[in-house]
Amino acid sequence: MSNQKHALTVFIGTTPNIGTTAAAFATASQVARLSGKPVGLLCLNLKSAKLHRYLGVDRPTVTLDSLRPELRAGTLTVDKLRSAAYSPPSCPGLSILFGNLMRDQAEYFTPEDMEHLLATARETFRLTVADVSAYWDNAATITAMREADSRLVTMSTALSSFQEDGQRWIGQVAPLFGIASHDMEGIIIHPPWRNGGFPVKDIRKETGLRVVEELKVSDSLLSQLDSGRLDNWVASEQQGKQAMKRTAEHLMARHVISGRTGRHVQPWYRRLMSHRNEVGS
């Protein structure tokens, strides 16, 4: 393992079912591929975990809820977390902890449980990507957002997503937990419809967030989600192989995660990536 600080990135949506999980999965896969380092993806959507179905694993052997005794006792170890994770064959280096399948017990998870999980994940992976829900009324979302080193907010181009829902969570709720708008960055999800939606410049102005990347929800992506082959979309399809690559490079530069060449990301490269992101947004 590297001596560099192991980082935590959180993906949170302003609105449910807009593509946040796909964006989080693609980013985690890209970082694992580009860096060759161990990357963990935690499904922390306590009431509507779907990642296992998107990957065609209808009956996961281990899920977040099955680890609750270790979380409550504070005894979750690196080895236990590794053994609990699922590794898609087409995404080397990526380990996934599937989410809570006992929706009626979502409130049983405490902030202390989540703190222990995230601390163990930091020990286990060079980068941990946490996919949380669009709502803040649970321990997983609040704790992960407070603990994160990078916070990526996904929003669609629909007015209700980036204005109404965005302002409710970004402008009103996040500050209650010490998270300012400048502590977050935006990912724009373009819905599959051809017409409608607002330009990125309007969304950026409305939310005040710097936009890191845009992701198009294509018919191909929807088809792979429905068939449980999201990993195939990322690994094999042209759009999937490029999806969230810019975000992955952005996170690698920020958190000094070296690429497969073995060279650590140098300060000049971090400045270059920062400049490219500013110009692109």
pLDDT in tens, 246-266: 999 999 999 999 998 644 444
> For 121-135, b where at least 16 C-beta lie within 10 A, e where not — what string?
bbebbbbbbbbbbbb
**25, 53 contact by CB (below 8 A):** no
**55, 61 contact by CB (below 8 A):** no
| Residue 169 confidence (pLDDT) | 85
Proportion of the chain above pLDDT 70, given as a percent: 90
Instruction: Residue 174: count other Cβ atoms within 10 Å of its Cβ.
Output: 22
Q: Could you state, in order of their start, the residue ranges of all structural domains in the chain?
A: 7-280
| Residue 31 confidence (pLDDT) | 98
- pTM reported for the whole predicted model: 0.90
CATH 3.20.190.10 fits 7-280, yes or no: no
**Residue 247 burial (C-beta neighbours within 10 Å; 0-12, 13-18, 19+):** buried
| Residue 263 confidence (pLDDT) | 46
Closest C-alpha to 218, from 237, 203, 201, 231:
237
pLDDT in tens, 190-222: 998 766 789 999 999 999 999 999 999 999 999
Q: Mapping DSSP to helix (H, G, I), strand (E, B) and coil, where does residue 211 land?
A: strand
**CA separation, residue 91 to residues 75, 165, 251 (Å):** 29, 33, 18
Q: What is the mean pLDDT of each run of 10 residues along the chain (281 residues)?
A: 74 95 98 97 95 96 96 98 97 97 94 98 98 93 97 94 87 91 95 82 92 96 96 96 97 94 51 54 46
| Residue 2 confidence (pLDDT) | 41
| Residue 261 confidence (pLDDT) | 64
